[in-house]
Structure 1
Amino acid sequence: MTEKKKIAWVTDSTAYITQELAEHPDVYILPLNIMFEDESFEDGVDLTTDILYNKIRKQKVVPKTSQPSVGKFAELYEKLKTDYDHAVAVHISSKLSGTYESSVNGKNMAEFEAEVVDSKCMSYAITTLINKGMEMAEAGSDYKEIADELRQEASNNENYILLGSLEQFYKGGRMSGTQYLLGSMLQIKPIIRIDTSTGEFELFERVRSEKKAVKRMIELLKNSYEKNIISQVQIMHGNLEHKANELKEKVLAEIPDLDIVIGEISSTIAVHAGEGTLAMIWNNKKR
């Protein structure tokens, strides 16, 4: 009989899946669902962001998203039981999606020893936590220790987002009608963030133009950089690679040695944030 591997890593399609994670034999990704009026897709499986943006442009309809079902998670954990001792799952903030809850209920149904971690965020912040967990596993930490550390680590994340579409964000129920009206009437470019103490979206600042908003985000990064050790900054975008590259150059002009990764937001995030979204994410480690 083959010996079981120690830890499986579970996440969802709101995470930024690097090539390393995509090719890793112990990483399992459950996709969220994206529903248009006439058809349903699985994020990253049968729907790319290109197809998504095209459909939204043509149909002028914002699709809905839903978490993977408890049954899907139970099925996955049941399968993992045969090959692994434990699992560590890291998911999108429980305040933004029911995915975390589905994962918890799924592992309980499968009666599998898994620790489910609320990232209090999404996108590359999840990736950072999984990478940290894997390093800890390599160093010999057990799955409970890893999960406890990742829960602590989640609050060290800092993120700022310039939405590509105020309208989509509003239609997805992520902002009040008043905020939407003010933003669209006054042509304000709001900087939003996910507050990692609550895991919820909040309006961080109203800025008059995209140029000023980008400048402000770099300022916020510099403030954090002075107080913390920041090993990497992730610039995430919604079909806006040229602007992501411009932002990278601007950041490097201020902080020359910083490691900067550019990546694209997943389809699920793009449904709410919209094409043209630009975000910066980093992890603060106290000096």
Structure 2
Amino acid sequence: MTMNKIAWLIDSSAYLSNTLKDHPDVYVIPINIHFGLEQFVDGVDLTHEQLYDRIRNGTASIKTSQPSAGEFALLYEKLGKEYNSIIAIHVSKSLSGTLSSSISGAGIAQVQVEFIDSLSLSAGITGLVERGLQLQEAGQSYQEIAAALRGMVSKFRNYILIGNLTQLYKGGRLSSVQFYLGSLLKIKPVIQITPQGELKELDKVRSHKKAIQYLINKAVEASVNDGLQHVYIMHANAEQQANDLKEAILQQAPHLQFTIGEISTSLAVHAGEDTVALLWYL
């Protein structure tokens, strides 16, 4: 058994930054994606390009499902033999059953795990793990690290600009009337993951240009009022838009640092193409 090392377990809704992608102690369990009767594994056998092509041209219903408790148990049995400590950080339990499956899997495997409900997704999970690795490097115990990360959860902020209403409508988060009126009036909804880990509509903005300015204003305000230092910009097949947003923010807050990345296929199923999000921890 490897001594004094922590296994970090996350689900594939998380954004894999270079730090996480290249770290030998970070493990990712994939979420499942269903197109009608077909099933794919997030990040394994379905590329972003294939997903967006299916969204644009396919007719089958699209949904996601969490990994089973059995899948978690197999991984936990392996990790329990190789590590003394395990910390699992998952997508908000209000948005997915992944955390519940993870807890059940650990029970089956009979291993001790520190579970953390990120109350977020994507870069929200990323930021927690990156901070946890820093605390680990500083010599803190896994219990101390878990406690610190639970305290950090409440400091998460996010603003998500939906690029295409179609996927929200197909996923049941928009009524047919809302979808029709939103498309007709070119409304750009800005949604947010609340401190309780739930999705809610934060604002409606007329025109894409005004919506982008809305995001710019939020980042600049946090920079001035809250001492914001680092921002994640996540996007759904909209890298140029993400880079343009970064440059626009830098014009008013030149000290800010940025990480730009693409959301996972399991999240793009719901958010849709051209979605852009700003996320950070204070």
- Bin of the TM-score, shorter chain as denominator length: over 0.9
Pick which of 34-43 and 182-191 moved more.
Answer: 182-191
Name the counterpart of 1:273.
Answer: 271
Q: Is the 8 A contact 1:56 1:62 kept in 2?
A: no
Displacement after TM superposition at 1:3 (Å): 4.1
| Aligned-pair identity (%) | 48
Q: Secondary structure of the equivalent of 2:220?
A: helix
- Give the letter for the 1:203 counterpart: E
* Change beyond 3 A, Cα 1:187–1:80: same
- Give the letter for the 2:10 counterpart: T
1:193-243: CA deviations, max 9, x gaps? 111x21011110111011101111111112221222322111111111111
Q: Is the 8 A contact 1:183 1:189 kept in 2?
A: yes
- Give the distance between the partners of 2:243 and 2:61, measured in 1 at CA: 28
- Give the distance between the partners of 2:177 and 2:107, measured in 1 at CA: 41
Q: Is the 8 A contact 1:5 1:83 kept in 2?
A: no
Name the counterpart of 2:112.
Answer: 113
Q: Is the 8 A contact 2:232 2:280 kept in 1?
A: yes
2:115 pairs with 1:139: no
* Change beyond 3 A, Cα 1:184–1:16: same
- Give the distance between the partners of 2:35 and 2:3, measured in 1 at CA: 41
Name the counterpart of 1:67.
Answer: 66
Displacement after TM superposition at 1:181 (Å): 4.3
Which ranges of structure 1 fall in alignment gaps of 5 or more residues? none
- Give the distance between the partners of 2:248 and 2:61, measured in 1 at CA: 33
* Change beyond 3 A, Cα 1:147–1:175: farther
Alignment of 1:187-206 (within 5 A): 187-195=186-194, 197-206=195-204
- TM-score normalised to structure 1 length: 0.94
Alignment of 1:257-272 (within 5 A): 257-272=255-270
Alignment of 1:13-28 (within 5 A): 13-28=12-27
- Give the letter for the 2:105 counterpart: G
- Give the distance between the partners of 1:98 and 1:209, measured in 2 at CA: 35
Displacement after TM superposition at 1:38 (Å): 3.7
- Give the distance between the partners of 1:5 and 1:76, measured in 2 at CA: 19
- Give the distance between the partners of 1:51 and 1:5, measured in 2 at CA: 41
Name the counterpart of 1:8.
Answer: 7
- TM-score normalised to structure 2 length: 0.95
Q: Secondary structure of the equivalent of 1:50?
A: helix
- Give the letter for the 1:188 counterpart: I
Name the counterpart of 1:41.
Answer: 40
- Give the distance between the partners of 2:185 and 2:164, measured in 1 at CA: 15
1:86-117: CA deviations, max 9, x gaps? 11111111111111111111112211111111
RMSD of the TM alignment (CA)? 1.5
- Give the letter for the 1:57 counterpart: R
- Give the distance between the partners of 2:63 and 2:78, measured in 1 at CA: 29
Which ranges of structure 2 fall in alignment gaps of 5 or more residues? none
- Give the distance between the partners of 1:152 and 1:181, measured in 2 at CA: 41
Name the counterpart of 1:219.
Answer: 217
Q: Secondary structure of the equivalent of 1:4?
A: strand
How many residue pairs are counted as aligned between the two chains? 282
- Give the letter for the 1:199 counterpart: G
